[in-house]
């Protein structure tokens, strides 16, 4: 399917930050753009906001003044719906209210030509529900941009039950021509990103509630070991806890209170206290002038005489860590065994979703220290570890000393199942696998959405393949056993991969 011709007028309704950003994207692609807002003067203010933002690029020599003038010349603020009659694509970016959006769509059907595509930028409302009362619901499609629209690459193209394939394909091609990375999804609660991303916040919120460690430490581990751009508490402070909690609650209720999406009491309390994050001046962190962000907890080891690491069996994902330690001057001895590392009094292993104390008892290995997952052990600057209650202080000290030899900061957290990054990645993968199973989107589109929409270091399904066919399934099974909750039940596709020994991309 061909994209819209660049001489096709595009209309954007809603001149707030999102609407203005979408208008800028369309104008940059060469389209004449009508910008409409019911608030008097808002459309012109939106155009001026675009001008102000892009003028900075001109001043820095990153854009020609003539190019800016041409772009602004293509954006025409208008005052009436009737002025959108010639638009070939209309994108509404107004308030997230089903009935208000339905009323607008009814009016647009009267104003716009029969071949005009009507798109909604909704992030949470069913496209199917929006189109249910339309005369021609086949021309309605979701076109979900991410804020700020000119900078964020992802566009979720959402098909409602009645959306025609031709309309969805045209919008997909148009978004691609606009320089975006579009993905196609069905109209289910949360679409791709807002559904699959819930565990990113939920698991750290649960660890905080369980007093595994503090928010600054959890954020640091997720960033410095997991490779994520921001930690969950930094990100929710930025998004706003009212917004993030509302989205979680909406998804939770839309899926009939499925415990996978259970909202956090910790976040609920912040919302009730008015501590909404950056916009209110306080959330998990204090943003008042002069305030300082707390430092993550970092363990300091005492003297350690050990200088040799014994590697028993295949270290699996820890192989890159073993190489890094070798390059740091640690002597390596390899021998057959169950995939453990021995250094001084410490017996180290990658977490498999069980508590260290539970695993130490099951494997008759008292001095067990569990290591968290890292996106890239060769580059990670921090790792979380947890000691079995049975372990000696010397074993914990030796584990810290070993990692510090490779320049890795160590955060010792309370003994909780799955530690931090591993349980986050496992639950993200689980939700992504469930979305793929139910036809929400393809495996590749789910991974692309999480990378392009949220800057994840890797798509969760590809990450799962890289870890091995059974690891995520094993971690989730152990989490489910530990908590006794359906929240951690492994998705059917993960179970299939476990027994077929094939991955999502095999």
Positions marked catalytic: 123, 144, 156, 194
Q: Check: CB of residue 13 under 8 Å from CB of residue 143.
A: no
Distance CA 245, CA 266 (A): 10
What is the 3-state secondary structure of 393-429? HHHHHHHHHHHHHCCCEEEECCCCCCCCHHHHHHHHH
3-state secondary structure (DSSP) of residue 40:
coil
Q: Which two tokens stand for residue 15?
A: 């001149």
- DSSP output for 429-475: HHHHHHHHHTTSS-HHHHHHHHHHHH--SS-HHHHHHHH-TTHHHHH
Peptide bond into 251 cis (omega under 30): no
Q: Which two tokens stand for residue 207?
A: 């660890």
- Among candidates 134, 136, 132, 158, which has minimal Cα distance to 145? 158
Q: Check: CB of residue 34 under 8 Å from CB of residue 83.
A: yes
Backbone phi, psi, residue 287, to 5°: -110, 15
Q: Check: CB of residue 336 under 8 Å from CB of residue 361.
A: no
3-state secondary structure (DSSP) of residue 353:
coil
- Among candidates 436, 452, 472, 344, which has minimal Cα distance to 399? 344
383-404: string of b/e by CB count within 10 Å (b at 16+)? bbbbbbeebeeebbbbbbbbbb
Distance CA 17, CA 12 (A): 12
Q: What angle do CA 406, 421, 419 make, to 5 degrees?
A: 90
Q: Check: CB of residue 122 under 8 Å from CB of residue 102.
A: no
- DSSP output for 105-155: HHHHHHHS-TT-EEEE--SSS-HHHHHTT-S-GGGEEEEEE-SSTTT--EE
Distance CA 93, CA 120 (A): 7
3-state secondary structure (DSSP) of residue 292:
coil
């Amino acid at each position: 399917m061909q994209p819209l011709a660049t001489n096709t007028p595009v209309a954007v309704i809603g001149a707030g930050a999102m609407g203005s950003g979408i208008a800028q994207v369309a104008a940059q692609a060469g389209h004449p753009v009508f910008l409409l807002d019911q608030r008097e003067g808002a459309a012109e203010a939106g155009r001026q906001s675009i001008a102000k933002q892009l003028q900075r690029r001109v001043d820095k020599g990153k854009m020609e003044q003539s190019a800016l003038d041409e772009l602004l010349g293509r954006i025409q603020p208008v005052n009436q719906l009737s002025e959108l009659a010639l638009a070939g694509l209309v994108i509404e970016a107004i308030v997230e209210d089903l009935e208000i959006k339905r009323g607008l769509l009814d009016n647009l059907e009267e104003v716009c030509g029969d071949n005009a595509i009507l798109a909604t930028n909704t992030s949470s409302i069913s496209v199917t529900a929006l189109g249910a009362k339309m005369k021609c619901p086949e021309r309605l499609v979701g076109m979900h941009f991410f804020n700020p629209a000119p900078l964020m690459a992802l566009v979720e193209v959402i098909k409602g039950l009645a959306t025609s394939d031709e309309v969805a394909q045209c919008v997909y091609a148009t978004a691609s021509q606009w320089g975006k990375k579009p993905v196609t999804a069905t109209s289910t609660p949360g679409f791709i990103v807002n559904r699959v991303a819930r565990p990113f916040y939920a698991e750290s919120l649960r660890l905080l509630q369980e007093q595994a460690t503090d928010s600054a430490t959890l954020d640091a581990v997720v960033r410095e070991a997991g490779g994520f751009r921001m930690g969950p508490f930094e990100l929710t402070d930025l998004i706003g806890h009212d917004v993030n909690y509302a989205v979680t609650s909406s998804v939770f209720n839309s899926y009939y209170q499925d415990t996978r999406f259970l909202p956090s009491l910790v976040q609920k309390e912040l919302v009730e206290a008015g501590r909404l994050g950056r916009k209110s001046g306080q959330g998990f962190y204090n943003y008042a002038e002069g305030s300082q962000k707390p430092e993550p907890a970092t363990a300091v080891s005492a003297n350690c005489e050990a200088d040799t690491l014994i590697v028993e069996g295949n270290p699996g994902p820890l192989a890159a860590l073993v190489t890094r330690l070798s390059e740091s001057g640690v002597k390596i001895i390899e021998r057959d065994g169950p995939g453990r590392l021995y250094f001084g009094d410490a017996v180290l292993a990658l977490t498999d979703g069980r508590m260290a104390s539970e695993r130490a008892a099951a494997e008759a290995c008292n001095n067990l220290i569990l290591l968290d997952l890292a996106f890239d052990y060769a580059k990670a600057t921090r790792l979380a570890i947890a000691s079995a209650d049975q372990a000696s202080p010397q074993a914990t000290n030796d584990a810290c000393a070993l990692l510090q030899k490779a320049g890795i900061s160590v955060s010792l957290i309370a003994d909780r199942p799955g530690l931090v990054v591993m349980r986050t990645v496992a639950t993200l993968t689980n939700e992504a696998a469930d979305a793929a199973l139910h036809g929400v989107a393809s495996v590749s589109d789910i991974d692309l959405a999480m990378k392009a929409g949220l800057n994840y270091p890797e798509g969760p399904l590809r990450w799962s393949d890289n870890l091995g066919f059974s690891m995520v399934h094993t971690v989730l099974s152990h989490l489910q056993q530990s908590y006794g909750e359906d929240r951690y039940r492994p998705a059917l596709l993960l179970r299939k991969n476990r027994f077929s020994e094939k991955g999502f991309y095999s």
